[in-house]
Chains A and B, each alone.
Chain A
Amino acid sequence: MDNLSLITNFLFFTVVYSIPLLYGTVGEILTEKSGSLNLGVEGTMAVGGIFGYLVGASADSLFLGMVFAFVFAALLGLLFSFLTVTMQANQNVTGLTITTFGTGLYFIVRQGVKEITPLLRLTKMKAAVNSLYIKGLSDIPIIGKVLFQQNILVYFGIFIALIVWAYLKFTKSGLRLRSIGENPAAADAVGININLYKYLHIITGSGIMGWGGFYMCILMSGDFAGSTTVINGYGWIAIALVIFVNWNTLTAVFGTFLFGLFRSLSIYNSGIAQAFPKVFGWLTAIPAQFYNMLPYAATALVIILASINKRKKTGEPAAIGLNYYREDR
C-alpha cells in the first residue's frame, strides 16, 4: 500500500471511529449547560444503541432506528431528570446508576438482537449508512475521502453539534438555559421555569447520546458478542471530552477527531512508522496502552491548565452538579 492511501485510510477511519464521541459529548454538554451532571452517558448510549438497533433492524429503516434510539435514550434522560430534578437525588450517584442500569439492560436485550443480526447484514438500514460519494469533491486526494466520503451519520453528528452550538449561543432559550446552569436562583427570579428547562434539555441531551450508541451498534459492531458492551468506554471518554473542549460543541468537533486520532494511532502506528521511518519511526516503540490512556491524560492536562489560567473564562456552568430547590434559598 502506498503512503498516500495509508494516510488517507488512517484519517478516514479516525473520523469513522470517533463520531460516537461527538454525539455523546454534544448530548452531555446540553445536559451540563442546564446545571446537571449526568454521568450516565455510557449507559444511555448503550440503551439508545441497542433498542434503536432492534427497532431499526426489525423495520429495516435507518430513520426508525434513529427515532427509537433517541426515544429510548431519552427515557433514561427522563428517569435521570425525575430523580435529580423532581426528587432532588444526588446527581453523581444517579448518573452512575444510569450507567449500571443501562449497560445491564444492554446485556439482557442483546441476545434478542444477536438472533436477528445475521438476517440484517445486507439490509436497507446498513445500505443507508454506506459511504457517500459526492462527484468532484470525493475525488480530491486525501481530503476527498476523509471529508467527503463519510457516511450520513457522520455529517448528521457534525450538524447536530453546530445546531446545539448556535442554539446555546444565539437563541433566547439557549441564553436562559445557560443562566440556569450558572445561577438557577437568579434565573428563577426572572421567571424562567427551571424544572421545565432542565427536564427538556436533559431528555434531549440523552436522546443525542442515544444516537451515538446507535451509530456504534450499526457501524462499529455487528455480532453483539464478547464480554463488553459495544459502547466499551466511549461514554466515559465523552465525559472527559466535555471538559477537554470547555463545554463548547463547536470545539467538540475538533476535540472528537483529536481523541479519535489517539485511538486510531494504536492501530495505525506500525503502518505510519513504516511509511515514514525517519519522522514517525518512534511510534511503534509506544505501547498500545499508552494510546488508550491519552484522552484521559489530555483531559487531566486541560483541567490543570484551566485552573492555572485564572483570567480565561471557563465554559463550565457554575452550578453544575448542584440540585436547585427553590425553598432552599
Chain B
Amino acid sequence: MKKGLVILLTLALIVGCLAAFTACSGEDYDLVVGAIYIGGKDETSGYTAAHANGIKKAIANLEKEGYKVKLEVVDKVDDTDYNAVAAACDTLVAKGSDIIFGISFGYLHAMNDKAAEYKDVLFSHATGYLSNDTNYNNYFGRIYQARYLSGIAAGLKSIELESDSIGYVAAWTTEYAETTSGINAFALGVQSVNPDATVYVKSIKSWGDTAKEQQAAQYLIDTYNCTVIAQHCDSAQPQIVAQENDVYGCGYNTDMTSDAPKAHLTAPIWNWHVYYQFAMEEALKDPATFVDAVGNYLGGLKEGFVDISPLSENCAPNTAKMIELARKEMVDGNWDVFHSAKLSFEAIQGEIAIKITPADLGTLYTPDPEKEDADPNPYVCKVEDDQVTKTPDYVITGTMNTFVAGVTDVDKM
C-alpha cells in the first residue's frame, strides 16, 4: 500500500513537472534570454546590478519594438565552480533559452564546453577570451577610452589647482591588463593637458574592501599632496574622502556626483544595454549568423558602450570642449589611446584645437623573467619615420602589464 502510494506520488510529480514544462514552452516568445549572474539578481548596485539593469533595459527596448522577450536568470553562481556554471547553463537551456549571457570571467571554460554541447543555443560571455565560430562569443568594452577622457578632466583640474600630483586608488595594478590599461589611459589623458603631472597609484590588492579604499585615498592626499583622486575600485569611497579633504576626483562605474557633489568631476561608465540590445537583435535576426555579425565584441565610445558621466560643475573651464574634441578623434577612428601618438591642445585664434603628434609610448609589456613568455602577443608601440602607425589593438588578444611614463606605483618607488 505504502509502496503504491510512493509510486503514485512520484508519477504525479513527474507528470506535474512535465505539465509545468509544457506550460513554460507553451507561450510563444520571440526570444528567450538566459542570464548567469555572479551576484544576486535583485542587487541594486555593483557589477551584477549593472548587467542585470542592462539586460532589462535592452529587453524593454525590444518590447517597445513589438518583440516578446522572456528573461530566465540563474543567479549567485560562483565563478570558481565549474560544475555550478555548467548546471546553470543546463538549467537555462532546459528553460528554452535562445541566448545565454554569462557575466563573470570565471564562467569561460564551462560556457565554452556547454556551447559545444548545445549547438543550437547562443552563448555570450563577458570579459573572457574564449569563443568559437558558431555559437560562442565574448564581449567587453574599451573602458580605457572613457578613462582617457576622465583623465583630461582631471588634468585640467590639476592645472587650475596649480598641482602636478594626481592620485589613483586601484584595486590591482599590473596584475591585470584591465587595471593597467585603465591607469595608463587615464595618465595619458592627464598628460594631454598637463604633461608635467605624475599619477600616483596605490593599489589595495582587493576588490570590495571599502575601508581600504578610503584609507588609500587619504594616504595619497596626505603623502603625495594629490589634488585629484581617480579610482578603479568598487565603491565611491575615494570620492567621499576627496570631498572631505577639499580635493577633487574621478569616480568609476556610476556617476558618483551624488556621492561627492563638491568633489566629483566625471566618471567613466559602462552602458551594458548597448551590447545586450545589439546581441539580442542579432539573435532575433538569425542565430546562425550571430557569431559572424557580433563577433568578439569590443565596444567603445563609438558604439556608446562606454562613456563618461555628465561633467559636474566642479570641472575646470573648457573641460567639456577639450573632451569633445578628443572624443571625436576616437569616435571617428582617427586616433586611439594606445596608438603611437599623443593628443595635445592648442589655441588657434582663440579657438581650442587638437593636435596629434607621434609619440613613443614605450613597450607596455614586460615579460616575466621567471616564466617562458606567456603571451605571444605583447603590446608594443612603434613610431616609424615619424608617421603615426596605427598599431593593431591588442587589448583582447594581447596584454599590458607596464605603466607609461608619468605613472608612479607608490609601492614600487
Contacts and interface: CB of A to CB of B under 8 A. Distances in A.
Interface of A: 1, 5-6, 9, 13, 17, 107, 111, 114, 117-118, 121, 216, 220-223, 225-228, 230, 232, 264, 266-271, 274, 284, 287-289, 292
A114 B45 CA distance: 10
Contacts of B215: 13, 17, 264, 267
A103 to B, nearest CB: 13
Interface of A is mostly: helix
Contacts of A117: 259
Interface in B394-413: 410-413
Contact of A227 (B47, B203, B258, B261): B47
Contacts of A114: 44-45
15 contacts: A9-B219, A111-B45, A221-B210, A223-B240, A223-B256, A225-B210, A225-B235, A225-B236, A227-B46, A228-B209, A232-B209, A266-B204, A271-B219, A288-B203, A288-B204
Contacts of A268: 219
B214 to A, nearest CB: 6
A1 B235 contact: no
Contacts of A271: 219, 223, 410
B211 A17 contact: yes
A225 B205 contact: no
- Listed from nearest, the 7 A-B pairs whose CB atoms lie closest are A288-B205, A226-B235, A226-B234, A223-B236, A222-B240, A225-B235, A228-B208
B237 interface: yes
B68 to A, nearest CB: 31
A216 B215 CA distance: 13
Contacts of A222: 214, 236-237, 240, 259
Contacts of B129: none
Given A225-B45, A230-B210, A289 B205 contact: yes
A222 to B, nearest CB: 4
B234 A225 contact: yes
A216 B214 CA distance: 12
A227, A271, A288, most chain B CB atoms within 10 A: A227
| Interface band, chain B | 35 or more
Interface string B192-212: 000000000011111111111
A267 to B, nearest CB: 5
Given A221-B211, A269-B411, A13 B204 contact: no
Contacts of B256: 223
B174 interface: no
B210 A226 contact: yes
Contact of B219 (A5, A225, A267): A267
A111 to B, nearest CB: 5
B134 interface: no
Given A227-B39, A271-B219, A271-B410, A232 B236 contact: no
Given A227-B207, A230-B210, A267-B215, A1 B240 contact: no
B210 A220 contact: yes
A9 B223 contact: yes
B225 interface: yes
Interface in B207-235: 207-212, 214-216, 218-219, 222-225, 234-235
A117 B260 CA distance: 11
A82 B243 CA distance: 45
A291 to B, nearest CB: 9
A264 B216 CA distance: 9
B208 to A, nearest CB: 4
A6 B395 CA distance: 39
Contacts of A107: 40, 43
Given A222-B259, A284-B411, A13 B218 contact: yes
Contacts of A267: 202, 204, 212, 215-216, 219
Contacts of A13: 215, 218-219
Contact of B261 (A118, A284, A288): A118
Contacts of A118: 258-259, 261
Nearest to B410: A270
A221 B216 CA distance: 13
Contacts of B47: 227
B221 to A, nearest CB: 10
Contacts of A287: 205
B305 to A, nearest CB: 22
B210 A1 contact: no
Given A118-B259, A118-B261, A226-B235, A9 B222 contact: yes
Contact of A121 (B216, B219, B243): B243
B189 to A, nearest CB: 24
